[in-house]
Amino acid sequence: MLTGNMGTENLSGPIGIAEMAGNTAQAGLLPFMYLMALLSISLAVLNLLPIPVLDGGQLTLLGIEALRGKPLSEKVENYIYSGGASSCWYVNDICSI
């Protein structure tokens, strides 16, 4: 999709993923395991993005603290996490329109 080779018709939500999992399970164990591995890797990559409410954001904040040599104040961390959560909710709302 980023390169323009695929359109939004290739996206699906939980129901589409469940249908795809059912179809691949009927095709055999190997295709089903391949799909599960692909989904797992995709979720892992998304989880490691440096967005504050995800694990990648936590790792980024830990890296900043390591560079500074002292922890961030609780107030600053709360602002960062609130902004990250708000951004995720905003993007989710925009994508669902």
pLDDT tens by residue, 74-87: 999 999 989 888 88
Reported confidence tier of residue 54, pLDDT bands at 50, 70, 90: confident
pLDDT at 2: 56
pLDDT at 93 over 90: no
The residue among 46 and 10 whose pLDDT is bigger is 46
pLDDT at 68: 94
pLDDT at 70 over 80: yes
pLDDT at 3: 66
CA 19 to mean position of chain CA atoms: 21
Buried b (16+ CB within 10 A) or exposed e, 37-72: eeeeeeeeeeeeeebbbbebbeebbeeeeeeeeeee
